[in-house]
A and B are shown apart, each in its own frame.
Chain A
Amino acid sequence: MAADLRTRLGHVELPNPILTASGCAASGRELAQFFDISRIGAIVTKSVMLGPRSGRPTPRMAETPSGMLNSIGLQGPGIDAFLQRDLPWLLSRGARAVVSIAGGTVAEYAELATRLSEAAGVTAIEVNISCPNVEHRGQVFACDPAAAAAVIEEVRGRARYDIPVFAKLSPDVTDIVAVAKACVSAGADGLSLINTLLGMVIDTDTMRPVLAGETGGLSGPAIRPVAVRCIWQVRAALPGVPIIGMGGVRTGRDAFEMILAGASMVSVGTVIFHDPSACVRILRELDEELSQRGIERLADVVGLAHEPRTAPRRGLAGTAAARRMP
């Protein structure tokens, strides 16, 4: 690696900024068949809930232009099985584990935070308050600043002090900055931007919705500009808050774009379905993107797109403008 790709997840240092996106890597086991999962910044696990959950009926997915809809419904075995089986396995492979949690009530999130804090080896908690595939679609926590803050406050209060807590937000809101500010005020150490957008596909042969769940979350390169916009807006309003950027990242160039918008880490999601080894490829490509531009440190260019155009655009490393980054 030519460039210094180290980044910070709250106070935790990661060797590089490429993570998996929650729900696209299960708990790492399947992807480990294709690459060494300890090489990337961290594995962000599929959202774990308190109890086992069967998810939604099939069909659960539909391919869309440069993207897909999914309606999985948070299928998983629950926190007990996760702590018994998945977390120890991740740690045994030398991977860093960012554990995504999801719940139906504030109390469930709190209980999950407590359980994870009692376990050793959790690098960070990502609080999924924005999954669109839940029974009460109108009650997604991340659609209401007060509800989002209530969850984050409780999780931050229960989580061990040295485990950073990131809030994962939905782009399906009028003002994502208001939700972001509410989460940070409630104690979030950082923000994950963005979850899927709610979408729908109708089969014109059957003349009915394709998904059994009718609506589903849209992901993939189709939503990347929305993600970049959200990261940009939140970075502008909260420049000191670390952001994990995600939404359709397919190449190192795409990851670099999110970093310029203000993300200090980048999660790779749907593209993993297309290319199981995408994370390590994107990591290599990002390194090349930085090196080609003479950028020595990733940290120097986080949020750089916010700088006025008069700032030097080449050979940045060492300039005063480039050093004002967290």
Chain B
Amino acid sequence: MTSGQNEPETGPVQVRGTVLTVRRVDAYYAMTIVAPAIAARFRPGQFVALAVGGPESPMLLRRAFSIHDVRPDHGGTVEFVFAAHGPGTRWLAERRARDMLDIAGPLGRPFPLPRDPVSCLLVGGGYGSAPLFALAARLRERRCEVDFLLGAASGDRVFGALTARRGGRTATITTEDGSLGLRGVVTDVLGQVIHEARTDVIYACGPMPMLRQVTMLAGRYDIPVQVAVEEEMACGIGVCMTCVLPVIGNDGITRMVRSCTDGPVFRGNQVRWDDVGTIPFDAFGAPGWEPRTRRASQAAQAALAAGNGDGAAAGPQPTPRRPGHGS
């Protein structure tokens, strides 16, 4: 899973970057940092992890954010979007131009790109849409058709609606309060959008319940889905083992994999959505796992065939989780 895919030559860097701008974008903040080495290595879907609170900070854990865009100015800049909903992100929102920040990236596996010019639907929830615009640019370079489907609780929480309307062949917006676009959630209209756009591939980023629903619906149309998950991370670089979720490997065996280095992008149908927050009974190394027997791998195959597992019964129920990176 991890062998040799992040060698120093191509892997992430840790740099001190200068803040260029911090600006309000509706309900969110967008921060641009001068970090040429990160910008040069970036591929859509990857993220950065920032230290917050300064050198004596009582907040030890890095905050992870999807990269929204990179630009060539000032040697190379990186922009990400965040919501100031905790002490760490509030501290970030208070930074000003010329402040220095410790930033590591680009981290994680990027979105895989199709070989052929196909019809791609990009689905985003809240500011989860941030990484989709750089992806759209790469897809268009490959002469793919790009349609957007963005949703949020209210109009000020739909990130990038205007960019989507300008850049996408179509852009469908949904809000739960009806303040922008259609009233409802993205999955209410997903089927219709797929139908009209003749979608071949779906890319999705947003809260876990949305990703789960998108994957399920896409499964009905037999359309492959690439999801970028949002799990809480402590380090972002693969050493802390806190951001794991159950994912079925190509060998049919479920493993607790790190969303930071094995993800954040996964094939939607390989994530065991119903078992996120648990250790499925048939996961590699789960209590009762029997090495060198076929039982566990058969169970994993059965779960794969059924489209989901019922491992939740074997482990504690998940506690309610907050979607989104950092706090």
Q: Which residues of A contact B (CB under 8 A)?
A: 23-26, 29-34, 46, 51-61, 63, 65-68, 70, 72, 75-78, 85, 135, 203, 206, 208-210, 212, 220-221, 270-277
The answer on a CB contact under 8 Å between B319 and A25 is no
- Report how far A69 CA is from B102 CA in the complex, Å: 23
Smallest Cβ distance from B62 to chain A, in angstroms?
A: 7
* 8 other A-B residue contacts (CB within 8 Å) besides A26-B238, A273-B62: A34-B14, A54-B286, A55-B256, A57-B315, A58-B318, A63-B59, A72-B242, A275-B14
Q: In the bound complex, what is the Cα–Cα distance between A229 and B286 (angstroms)? A: 37
Interface 1/0s, chain B 46-59, versus A by CB < 8 A? 00000100000111
A-B contact pairs, 22 of them (CB 8 A): A25-B239, A26-B238, A26-B239, A52-B289, A54-B286, A55-B256, A58-B231, A58-B242, A58-B243, A58-B244, A58-B318, A59-B232, A61-B234, A65-B58, A68-B234, A72-B241, A75-B244, A75-B285, A76-B285, A135-B287, A273-B240, A274-B51
8 Å CB contact of B62 from A55, A75, A135, A274: A274
A54/B235 in contact, CB under 8 A: no
Report the Cα distance A40→B278, complex, angstroms: 37
State A206–B315 Cα separation when bound (angstroms). 20
A273 touches B61 (CB 8 A): yes
Q: Is the interface of B mostly helix, strand, loop or mixed?
A: loop
> What residues of A have a CB within 8 angstroms of the CB of B284 in the complex?
52, 54
* In contact, A271 and B60 (Cβ under 8 angstroms): yes
Point out the residues of chain A lying under 8 angstroms from B279, CB to CB: 54-57
Choose among A30, A51, A52, A78 the residue that contacts B239 (Cβ–Cβ < 8 A).
Answer: A30
A212–B241 CB distance below 8 A:
no
Binding site secondary structure of chain A: loop
A67 touches B60 (CB 8 A): yes
Cβ-defined partner of B242 (8 Å) among A61, A66, A274: A61
Q: Is B136 an interface residue (CB 8 A)?
A: no
Number of A-B pairs, beta carbon distance below 8 Å = 146
Option from A52, A56, A221, A274 in Cβ contact (under 8 Å) with B61: A274
Chain B residues within 8 Å of A274, by CB: 51, 57, 60-62
Known A-B contacts A24-B240, A60-B241; A29 and B14 likewise in contact (beta carbons under 8 Å)? no
CB under 8 Å from chain A, chain B span 1-49? 2-3, 6-8, 11-14
CA distance A25 to B238 in the complex (A): 9
Chain B residue nearest to A35 in the complex (CB): B14
C-alpha gap A46/B8 in the complex (Å): 21
Nearest CB of chain A from residue B295's CB, rounded to whole Å? 14
Name the residue of chain A whose CB is nearest to the CB of B254: A54
Also in contact, A61 and B240, with CB within 8 A (given A51-B285, A273-B235): yes
